[in-house]
Chain A
Amino acid sequence: MIKLLFSILLLSGCGGANDGAREAPGRERPAAKTDEKPGVAAERFACETPSGWEIKRDREKEKKTKILKLELVGPREGNAPVLIYAAFYGTGNASFSDHADFIERNSKNILGETQSDTEKFSPVKETSLAGKKTFEFDSEIKEYLNPESKSAESVVIKEKFYVIPAKDGFFVLHYYAPAPAYNKYLPVFKKLTATFKIL
């Protein structure tokens, strides 16, 4: 069983690392001291994050894209990273027109299929998270490690998505892991989603 230590992290005014800077990774390195105070930007959500994971956030990019995003980088397993994203996509953001667009593009492959030799997408189901109507779905995709090379070396990536519509955009909680490590770090993601609060 994995023992995890958690700290509260607020997006926009979070008690995490300096903007754009990387936190000290790994348990074998002392945690970076943080002295960031709650910011003046609008706060959209709060969640607990696992210690020992690298936390990335680019405030400058957020202003341009209207996408507030926390990226948590876990260990690498089998040539691929373990990642967790917690994000808010504001209306008019750079990437998706609305939550339905996000779901459409992430719950099927590029040819509109939910299954092929190398991919599987679960049905989109309605559930509840943070007291709100939420859409949940999964995917399992064989990804090539060297797309320019004739090497067919690949890794199967499993992902889980929670999409929560809001009046002025939508929230996404996204777990990304190579298949052999998926179940191992799923509790970390579940803990984050269990503590996720919309502000």
Chain B
Amino acid sequence: MTALSLKIRGFRGLLAAALSGFAVSCACAASLTWEEAARIAAYDKALSAGDPAIAEKFLKDTSFSDWLKLTDPVKAALLLSKAQAVDDLARLLDKPWRDEQEAELSKALSLRIDSGKPLVKAGIGPVPETLLSWMAGYRSYSEHKTGLVRKAIRQFETVFAADKTDADALENKRSWENRTIRERNIFLAEFASGKLEKLIKYETETGKAFREWVRNDDVFKYLDQAGRARQERYLTQLAAADAAKSKLSAPRLDKINDQPIEQQMYLLGGLFDKSKGGGGSLLERKVDGARQSKPGETLSYQNNRLLADMLRTAIPGELKGSAAGGRILQFYNSGAGPAVAIESCQGCYAKYEPAGARIVLDSEMIQQYLRVNNLTAETLLSDKTRVAALAGYLAPIFVHEATHQMQHSWADKAGIYKPYVQEDEIEANSMEALYTLEKLKKDPKFRGLFSKMRSSASYADQRLKLAQRFSRNPDDFSENVRQLYYYGLPSFEAASSQVLWAVSSELKRRKGLKADARNELEKTGADINEAMAMTASELISSAAGIKTPALLKIQEDLLHNAVYTGRYEDASDRAVAMLGAARGSGTPKTGAVPAL
């Protein structure tokens, strides 16, 4: 303990603060000296006040924190979480932020300042305006930055134009100030989405000036990701309709112009089908890609099930012959094959559902494929070659989701809790990009299909762009994933810190409970299986309802994080090595192709 004692001299200021009315409660631990307990208390007090300088100091004081992890892991986890949270907030706000980044800053702050987050115990949140008090106490930001933060936390005065003397406005303001940033953003997103839906339902205009207004109107800056996707789709439809209508005669135009957009797209699609052009022009593909499906182009529930069964055989056939595909097949060879389902994915192209161990492929993505390729459900399902072509189209995103399944399988076998983090997406995106690159090189049909589809289906262009970014520099790819594609998703370090804080705080709280309250909790709380299946935010918000052994297990897992970081590093290295091998060698050897 000599090294620790020598460092006490540097903490005189902290010790004085600690002794001036702050209970040095952990001196009750039999193994702690008075000095050690005081040092812990000093750190605790400063971190609880949100002091970023002390947070940075604590994080660099690794000899102390390593000692504390052994001596009092609960306390170590609490202090570490608080320090990481405060340091992370300070770094976030210290960066230059421009006006155009308001939504991004709002999202970043909403992830950090909310009920149940570590910053609450540092005096920041869940009321968003507490951030302003922290800034006044610990930072001297410019008027511009302070103003931007006020907008990002959706302070009442920055969102609503209200008469300050109006009683209703005052009541609304009080109600607003009780909402977290996340809740405020949900409210505003719903409001913006409602306005957008009204346009889509009733507006008939499609011209350039109107499109500019839809893109730039102030209210739409509050749209959430799904809302922005809807806005982008609407803009795509407007542009496609406008371009197509420019080719029409006046009488035909009259029948279309007074219709809302979905009806305009439907009518324009019908006009192309009857034309002598025979389909396949770029403009027709753009219209077909952007409009809704007609009867015959849609997949019924029975069609979806039949097609899903056919794809379970067809997709492995497409994966064979590539290194990335071979790795997926090897995983399924070991008996872990997923169910494949076709359903609406609610804004995504595909997802892996751990509960059912199934990969869901989006029905709308498949229906768009049918429209652009002039197929109906009947012509697709009656022709195995066409199903194989569709399987080739879907294979990249399947590889992505299958990689997520492999991640879950690894965690299940290791018996450890696994939060969803950036590192998961680095691996899945690398595998998907690698697969796409290999197929583009070796399979002319795959290359031709994606080359054709990229201008009418964002899905196709997104697959190509991802593969391209990976090919351009695999060494930089993980940084692209973190900084561009998944900026809002926490890293493993951030997520584990937040979970650790929530779990450790709860364990500490329970020590003060009466026996009957503790017993009730152990009877009714979520058990270890339920807890291990929770996402990080579910765990954080429901830690109080989880049984103690489950919390202890999760704490143990996350305090010893080398298991996770080692795997993430291996995954990253492997993808780069596989790319090198694929670029230099021929077809890798794989085993027999199993049906899924």
Q: Which residues of A contact B (CB under 8 A)?
A: 22, 24-29, 52, 64-65, 67, 69, 71, 73, 75-81, 83, 85, 94-95, 97, 105-106, 109-111, 116-118, 141-153, 155, 180
Q: Which of B313-372 contact A (CB under 8 A)?
A: 347-350, 362, 364-365
Contact B236 A95 (CB under 8 A): no
The interface residues of chain B lying within 8 Å CB-to-CB of A73 are: 483
Known pairs A111-B451, A152-B458; A29 contacts B90 (CB<8 A): yes
Q: Is B193 an interface residue (CB 8 A)?
A: no
Least distance between A19 CB and chain B CB atoms (Å): 14
Chain A binder among B112-120, B227-235, B550-558: B227-235
Chain A binder among B36-44, B92-100, B182-190, B387-395: B92-100
Name the residue on B nearest A75 (C-beta). B96
Name the residue on B nearest A80 (C-beta). B484
Contact B580 A149 (CB under 8 A): no
Contact A26 B437 (CB under 8 A): no
Least distance between A180 CB and chain B CB atoms (Å): 8
7 new A-B contacts, CB < 8 A, other than A149-B348, A153-B228, are A22-B91, A25-B95, A105-B471, A110-B440, A150-B349, A151-B225, A155-B484
Name the residue on A nearest B576 (C-beta). A94
Name the residue on A nearest B368 (C-beta). A150
Q: Which of B428-482 contact A (CB under 8 A)?
A: 429, 437, 440, 447, 451, 454-455, 458-459, 461-469, 471-476, 479
Known pairs A75-B98, A81-B484; A149 contacts B347 (CB<8 A): yes
Taken together as a complex, chains A and B put the C-alpha atoms of A69 and B90 apart, in Å, by: 27
The interface residues of chain A lying within 8 Å CB-to-CB of B462 are: 144, 147
Partner of B232, one of A24, A77, A94, A153: A153
Taken together as a complex, chains A and B put the C-alpha atoms of A142 and B461 apart, in Å, by: 10
Contact B225 A146 (CB under 8 A): yes
Known pairs A26-B96, A78-B101, A110-B468; A150 contacts B485 (CB<8 A): no
Least distance between B65 CB and chain A CB atoms (Å): 15
Contact B94 A28 (CB under 8 A): yes
Q: Which of B127-169 contact A (CB under 8 A)?
A: 139-142, 145
Q: Which residues of B contact A (CB under 8 A)?
A: 90-91, 94-98, 100-101, 104, 139-142, 145, 225-226, 228-229, 232-233, 236, 347-350, 362, 364-365, 397, 400, 429, 437, 440, 447, 451, 454-455, 458-459, 461-469, 471-476, 479, 483-485, 487, 573, 576-577, 579-580, 583-584
Least distance between B92 CB and chain A CB atoms (Å): 10
The interface residues of chain A lying within 8 Å CB-to-CB of B101 are: 76-79
Contact A143 B475 (CB under 8 A): no
Taken together as a complex, chains A and B put the C-alpha atoms of A80 and B483 apart, in Å, by: 7
Known pairs A77-B100, A94-B475, A148-B349; A26 contacts B232 (CB<8 A): no
Q: Which 6 pairs show the lowest CB-CB distances between chains A and B?
A: A151-B229, A26-B94, A110-B468, A75-B96, A152-B232, A29-B94
The interface residues of chain A lying within 8 Å CB-to-CB of B468 are: 109-110, 141
Name 18 A/B residue pairs within 8 A (Cβ), A-sorted. A26-B95, A28-B94, A29-B90, A77-B98, A95-B475, A97-B584, A105-B472, A105-B473, A111-B447, A117-B455, A144-B461, A146-B485, A147-B465, A150-B362, A151-B226, A151-B232, A153-B228, A180-B100
Least distance between A71 CB and chain B CB atoms (Å): 7
The interface residues of chain B lying within 8 Å CB-to-CB of A79 are: 101, 104, 484, 487
The interface residues of chain B lying within 8 Å CB-to-CB of A117 are: 455
Least distance between A151 CB and chain B CB atoms (Å): 3
Contact B141 A28 (CB under 8 A): yes
Taken together as a complex, chains A and B put the C-alpha atoms of A151 and B348 apart, in Å, by: 8
Partner of B225, one of A22, A65, A149: A149
Least distance between B23 CB and chain A CB atoms (Å): 33
Contact B229 A150 (CB under 8 A): yes
Taken together as a complex, chains A and B put the C-alpha atoms of A106 and B471 apart, in Å, by: 8
The interface residues of chain A lying within 8 Å CB-to-CB of B465 are: 118, 141-144, 147
Interface-central residue, B236, B440, B467, B468, by most chain A CB under 10 Å: B468
Least distance between A121 CB and chain B CB atoms (Å): 11
Name the residue on A nearest B91 (C-beta). A25
Least distance between B446 CB and chain A CB atoms (Å): 12
Taken together as a complex, chains A and B put the C-alpha atoms of A141 and B91 apart, in Å, by: 29
The interface residues of chain B lying within 8 Å CB-to-CB of A64 are: 573
Interface-central residue, A79, A110, A149, by most chain B CB under 10 Å: A110
Contact B229 A149 (CB under 8 A): yes
Taken together as a complex, chains A and B put the C-alpha atoms of A26 and B142 apart, in Å, by: 12
Taken together as a complex, chains A and B put the C-alpha atoms of A64 and B574 apart, in Å, by: 12
The interface residues of chain B lying within 8 Å CB-to-CB of A148 are: 348-350, 397, 400
Name the residue on A nearest B467 (C-beta). A110
Partner of A110, one of B397, B471, B473: B471
Taken together as a complex, chains A and B put the C-alpha atoms of A146 and B489 apart, in Å, by: 11
The interface residues of chain B lying within 8 Å CB-to-CB of A145 are: 484-485
Contact A150 B347 (CB under 8 A): yes
Contact B94 A150 (CB under 8 A): no
Taken together as a complex, chains A and B put the C-alpha atoms of A9 and B347 apart, in Å, by: 46
Contact B228 A151 (CB under 8 A): yes
